[in-house]
Structure 1
Amino acid sequence: MSVPRIRHATLDDEETLARIDRRTWSPLHAVQPRPQPPYPPFYTERFGPRDHLVAELDGNVVGFIRLSFPTSLACNAHVRQIQGLAVAEEARGTGVGRALLRGALEEARRQGARRISLRVLAHNTPARGLYESEGFVVEGILPEEFLLEGEYVDDVLMGRTL
C-alpha cells in the first residue's frame, strides 16, 4: 500500500465521509447513539469542508480528521481542537490515523494556533496511544462523564503546544 496523502476536504467528499463516519461508529469513541436512517448531512452549518482534512490511499478517501475552534470566543482563537477522527476499517494499521493527526497539527500551525486539544474516552486505548505518541498529554479527566452501554466512562482531556 502507498503512503497516505492528506488534503483539505471538498464538497464532493461529503458522501464518502458520511459513509466512513457511519461505518466506523463504535462505543469505543462515540457518545451519540448509532446513526439510523434517514442520515443527517455530514457537513453542517457548524462543520463544513473547511474543517476537515481527508486521507487518500491509492486515490480513495479512507479517513478524515475534524479540526475546529473549541469555542467562538476571541480570547480562545489561538487554540484548535480535534473534534473527530475516523479511518476506514480497510485502511487501519497503514499509518492513516497518524498521517491525519500530523496533518491536523500542521494545519493548526498554518492557521496560527499555539495549542491543540482534544477529548477522548478513557477506554479508547488505541487512540490515546496514538495521541500520546504525537506529544499529547493528559490535561484533565472528567470521571464517569458518560454512561455508555451500561458502563460509566471517563472523558480524558488531552492537549499539546504547537
Structure 2
Amino acid sequence: MSASQTWSLRSVRPARPEDETALGELDRAAWSPLHAVQPRPQPPYAPFFDDRHPPGEFLVADAVGEAGEVSPAGYLRLGHPTPLACNAHVRQIQGLAVAGWARRQGVARALLRAAYAESRRQGAGRLTLRVLGHNTAARALYEAEGFTVEGVLPGEFFLGGRYVDDVLMGRSTAA
C-alpha cells in the first residue's frame, strides 16, 4: 500500500480464509521489538492461519483507498486465555497489528472496540491482554479504551539486551 495515498477505515469484520496472504504480509511488516517476543520472521514463513490460529479468531479492519480498493489495515486476534471451563467467561486479545500506512487513523481503536463488542456478544464478562512494559504508546491506547493494569511480571522477557516487564491489563465487558 502506498503511504501517499489516502485511506479511510471502512469496517471491522471477521477474518476469512482468503485473508491469509494479506494478513501474513501485514503481520511481518508490522513486526517490531516494541511488541514482539519472537525474533523477526524469516522465510520460509509459517502459515498465518493454522489449527491453533483459525480465521474465526481474527477481526480484520478494512480500509478503502481513493479509487475504491479495499485492503486490510489491521487485525486483532481474540481468543480464550485457557481451554478451562472455569475461564470460559474471559476473552483475551492475543495479537494486534496495524499496517504502517494505516497508523494513527483509528484502526487499533476500532479493532479494540470491535473486540469488546464481540466479547460481549459471546457472553464474556472480561476482556484481557498482555503488553510489553516498554510499549508506552500501546499501553496508553489500552488505558484510553478502559483497560487497567491488573498485574506486572517484572523482567519477564530478555529482549534487545535488557529485561522487559510483561504487563497484564483487563476490563469488564459489563454494560
Pair in the same fold by TM > 0.5: yes
> C-alpha offsets along residues 33-88 of structure 1, whole Å, 9 cap, x if unaligned?
11000000001111111000000110211100000000000010000000000000
Match of residue 64 from structure 1: 75
Q: 1:86 aligned to 79, 97, 110, which one? A: 97
Whose radius of gyration is greater, 1 or 2? 2
Match of residue 113 from structure 1: 124
Q: What SS is found at the alignment partner of 2:8?
A: coil
In 2, Cα distance between equivalents of 1:23 and 1:49:
19
- In the alignment, does 2:27 pair up with 1:16? no
C-alpha contact (below 8 Å) 1:4/1:99 kept by paired residues = no
In 2, Cα distance between equivalents of 1:66 and 1:3:
18
Match of residue 128 from structure 1: 139
In 1, Cα distance between equivalents of 2:29 and 2:162:
23
In 1, Cα distance between equivalents of 2:14 and 2:30:
20
Structure 2, unaligned stretches of length 5 or more? Answer: 1-6, 65-69
Count of residue correspondences: 162
Q: 2:110 aligned to 99, 103, 106, which one? A: 99
Q: Supply the AA of the counterpart residue of 2:55.
A: P
- In the alignment, does 2:72 pair up with 1:55? no
In 2, Cα distance between equivalents of 1:124 and 1:34:
17
- In the alignment, does 2:86 pair up with 1:75? yes
In 1, Cα distance between equivalents of 2:149 and 2:10:
28
In 1, Cα distance between equivalents of 2:10 and 2:132:
26
C-alpha contact (below 8 Å) 1:66/1:84 kept by paired residues = yes
- In the alignment, does 2:57 pair up with 1:46? no
In 1, Cα distance between equivalents of 2:9 and 2:50:
30
User: Shift of the alpha carbon at 1:15?
Assistant: 0.6
Q: What SS is found at the alignment partner of 1:31?
A: coil
C-alpha contact (below 8 Å) 1:144/1:155 kept by paired residues = yes
Q: What is the TM-score normalised by the length of structure 2?
A: 0.91
| Identical residues among aligned pairs (%) | 62
Q: Supply the AA of the counterpart residue of 1:34.
A: R
Structure 1, unaligned stretches of length 5 or more? Answer: none
Q: What is the TM-score normalised by the length of structure 1?
A: 0.98
C-alpha contact (below 8 Å) 2:147/2:169 kept by paired residues = yes
Q: Which runs of 4+ in 1 moved over 6 A?
A: none
